[in-house]
Chains A and B, each alone.
Chain A
Amino acid sequence: MIFDFIEIFFTAGFWAATIRIACPLIFATLGEVICERSGVLNLGIEGIMSLGAMVGWTAVYLGADLYSGILLAAIMGALFGFLHAIFTVYLGASQHVTGIGITMLASSIGFFSFRLILPSSTTPPKIIPFEKLDIPYLSEIPFLGEALFQHTPFTYIAFASVIIIFWLLNSTPFGLSIKMAGENPMALEAQGIDVLLVRTLSVILGSSLMAVGGAYLTMSAFDAFYFGMINGRGWIAIALVIFAAWKPERALLGALLFAGLDAYQVRAQQLAGAFIPYQFFLMLPFILSIAAMIVASKRTRYPRALLIPFRRGERH
C-alpha cells in the first residue's frame, strides 16, 4: 500500500501533470510579483484570471486563432490592470478594497458577457485547445521526454516568461525602476523618473500576465469555460509570492512545488479515496498556501513601500 504512494513519483505522468498544473500559477505569481515589487498589492488577480479565461476561450470560440486568444486575454488583463492603477496609483485609494472591487468587477463582467454571448446550455461548448508540441529529440528521452518535453506551446511560453521576467527585473532599467518604486519611491523620483508611471506600467504588465494565466486554463489545460473555474488560484498565487520572497525564479520553484503537491493529491486521492473524503484533498492547496506563508514569514523582507501610495508633491 505505502509503495503505491511512493510509486507515484516514478511515473512520468505525475511530472507532466505537475508542469501542467504549475503553468497558470506561474503566470499569476509572476504577474503579482511585478505588481508587488513596484509597491502595489493587486487583489484583482482572481477576477482578472477569471476574465482572462473567459476572454481567451470566447475569442477562440468565436473564430479567432489560439494566439490571438492569448493576446486578447492579455489586453483585457491590461485594461483592468490600468483601472486598478488609476485607483491605487493615481488616486492612492486602499489597495485592499480596490483589489476586491476589481476582482468582483472583472469576474462579474466576465460572467455577464459570457451569458450574453452564450445563453445558458446544459453542456458547455468546447473549443479545440492547444495541442501537444513534442520538442524534437528531447521528447524522445525516456521518462524525461514525456515529463518535460511533450507539452503544449502555451506551457513553453509559461516557462519562457519566467526567464523574461527574471531578465526584466534584474537587467533592465525598467526592472530596476520597478524594484526602486517598491522600495523607496522618493529615491526613484529623485533620479528623475515618474514613480506613478512605473507603478502603473507594472500593474498593467502584471495584470496581463494574470489574465494569460487564466486563459491557460481554458485554452491549454481544459477546453471549456466554467463559472468559478479559477477556484482560488489567484489567492494561492498571492501566497506563493510571499513564499517566493518576490523573486521570479523562486516563484517558479513555488509554483512547481505547489503543483507537484496538487498533482500528487489527485493521484493519492485515487488510492485513498475510499477512506478519505475527496473534499479533504481539495482543501489541501488552501491549507498549504496558508502554511507556505507561515514558513516564509521568518525570512520575509517585504518591499518597503508595498501598500503605501506615493503622492507627488506631498510633504514627506
Chain B
Amino acid sequence: MQPILKVESISKFFGNLIANSDISFSVNKGEILAILGENGAGKTTLMNILFGHYMPDKGNIYFKNKPLTFGNTGNSISLGIGMVHQHFTLADNLTVLENIIIGHKSLFSLDLSKKASIEKLNSLIDKFNLPINPNAMVSDLSVSEKQRLEILKTLYKDCELLILDEPTAALTPQETEALYKTINNMVKQGLSVILISHKLHEVLSISDRIIVLRNGKIAGEQLTKSADYKSIASLIVGKEIQYPKKTKSLPLNKILKLENIFYETDLDLDVKIENLNLELSGGEIIGIAGVAGNGQQNFAKILSGHVKPTNGKLFFDNKEINTFSAKSFMELGIAYIPEDRNKDGLVGDMSIWENAIMTETSNREIVNNFGFIKSKKSKEKSSKICQLNDVRYQSIDQPSRLLSGGNVQKLLIGKWLNRKPKLIIACQPTRGLDEGAIAAVHKMLLEARKNGNGIIIIGEDLDELITLSDKICVMYNGKLSNPLTSSNIEKLKIGMMMSGEGF
C-alpha cells in the first residue's frame, strides 16, 4: 500500500524537556492509525508539528511524497491535512458557516461568496451525515455539534488526512459510538485518519494499526487485529504502576448537606443550577459525573464559597452557612482543588515556599504580629509539606512554574491537606497527569478519606470516578441525580444519564 504520510526522525524540545525524540512512522491511505500514550508522552506535540502549529527541531515529514513546510498551518491545510483539536478551535462569536469558510479564500478578497459555500457545506453534511445548521451561532451549539463542526471544517477543505486529538474526551459513551460510526464512514470514502487517544479499549475497536508513544519515543507498533489489551497497556505505561486500593468505607457523621440549591447569574457562561440536594458524610467520597458544561463549574463555585446560591440552604457540620466567600469557607475547613491548576491553583511566578504558605497567612507561626512574614519558618514549613507529599524540586526558592504537572498537583493538594480540612472539593484532580502522578493523587485522596474527610470529586473520567467513589451522582443541565451507590454503579447507565436520561 502507498503511504500518504511519512514522518522521518522528528525531534522537538521545549527548553530542557524532550517532547519528541527521533520519531518515524508512516500512514497508509484509507487507514486508521491510532497513536496511544499517556499524558505527556508527546502525542499532541507530534500532531501539532504535523499540522504546523509547532516547528520541529529535527527531522522531515513527507505528505504525498512532497516535503512539508514546517510551522505553517496554512501549508499543511492546503496539502490536505486536517486536524480536530482536543480543545475546540472555534470562535463563539461567529456562525457555523463563518467558522468554516475563514481561511478558504484569500484574506484580502472582497467577498465571502456565502451562497456557494452553503451549497458545498450542505452537500458535505448529507454525504457524511453530520447534521448542523450552517447559520447557527457557535456559542449556541452543544458539545457534540461542535465536534461535528470541527470535522466539517476539515472536510470542507478537502482534507485527505484527518488528525483527531482525543476526540471523545468530552463525549458520552453514546456520542462516542456515533462519532466512530462517522469516522468509519469517512475512511470508506478514502480518507486516512490519525487518532490520538489514551482510551485503549476504544482504540482497539476502531483502529487498523497502533503506535504507542512513551516519554517522547516510539515504544512499540502493532496491527490492531494481532494486538491484545494487556500487552498494549504495558507498552503505554512502561512499568507496572501500583494503584492504591480503596478500603471499606465507614461513613461517619454528616458533614455537608445541600437543600434545594438554586443558582443563576446573567454574567455566567455555565448553566444555571436547579434544585440541588446532596448529603455527604465524613469518610465518604461522592463522585459527580457529567459532560463538562452542565453546571459543574457553578456547583464547584458554590461548594467552595466563591459564589452565593440564589436560593436554598447549605449546612456544614450541621450549621447553616450564610457567609459565602473563599476565605470564610477555607476557615470552616473546606479545601478546594480547582480544575485548572495552573490558572487557579498555584502562582507560577512565585516560589514554591511562597505558594505553600498561601493558605496560611493568618497563621501566627508564618506571619508575625506586625504582619511581617517569617521567611525562615515559612521555608521550613514548606519543605515539610513537600516532603510529606513527595513533591520533588531542586530548590524551595525556585518559581513553582518550573515544577512538573504532577508535582504542582501534589503541592496544591498537600498545601490544602496541611490545613486539616474536613471537606475536600476536587475538580478533575488528575486531568493531564501521567500515570505515576495519578496514582499519587489517588493515594492522597483515599488517605484523606480514611482520615474521615468528606470528599467530592467532580470529574469527566468515568473510570476514575468509579474507582474512587462510594457514591456517584450525575450532573446534567444544572440538575443533580440521586446518588447511585456502589451496588448499582454501572458505566453504561451513567453514560445514559450523562446524556440526559432520567432528568
Contacts and interface: CB of A to CB of B under 8 A. Distances in A.
Nearest to A191: B103
Contacts of A312: 53, 71
Interface stretch (A90-98, A138-146, A170-178): A170-178
A304 interface: yes
Nearest to B77: A192
A190 B89 contact: yes
A313 B74 CA distance: 14
Nearest to B14: A315
B265 to A, nearest CB: 12
A134 interface: no
Contacts of A179: 91, 93-94
Contacts of B107: 173-174, 177, 193, 197-198
Interface in A257-316: 298, 301, 303-304, 312-313, 315-316
B240 interface: no
A172 B110 contact: yes
B91 A190 contact: no
B112 A184 contact: no
A314 to B, nearest CB: 9
Nearest to A298: B266
A187 B103 CA distance: 11
Contacts, number: 96
Nearest to A192: B74
24 contacts: A171-B112, A172-B110, A173-B101, A173-B105, A173-B112, A174-B107, A176-B94, A177-B102, A180-B94, A180-B99, A183-B91, A183-B94, A184-B89, A184-B91, A188-B102, A190-B89, A191-B103, A192-B103, A193-B103, A193-B107, A194-B74, A303-B93, A313-B53, A316-B87
Given A179-B91, A184-B91, A312-B71, A189 B53 contact: yes
Residue from A190, A304, A316 having most chain B Cβ neighbours under 10 A: A190
Interface in A160-186: 171-174, 176-177, 179-180, 183-184, 186
B54 A176 contact: no
Contacts of A189: 53, 73, 89
Interface of B: 14, 45, 51-55, 71-78, 83, 85, 87-94, 98-99, 101-112, 153, 266
B110 A183 contact: no
A89 to B, nearest CB: 16
Contact of A190 (B55, B83, B105): B83
Contacts of B45: 315
4 closest A-B pairs (Cβ-Cβ)? Answer: A192-B74, A191-B103, A187-B89, A190-B89
A186 B71 contact: no
Contacts of A187: 88-91, 99
A232 B421 CA distance: 53
A176 B89 CA distance: 15
A181 to B, nearest CB: 9
A171 B111 CA distance: 7
Nearest to A246: B93
A192 B108 contact: no
Nearest to A186: B89
B71 A313 contact: yes
Given A174-B108, A312-B71, 20 more contacts: A172-B111, A173-B108, A173-B109, A176-B102, A176-B112, A179-B94, A180-B91, A183-B91, A184-B89, A187-B99, A190-B89, A192-B73, A192-B74, A192-B78, A192-B103, A193-B74, A193-B103, A197-B107, A313-B55, A315-B14
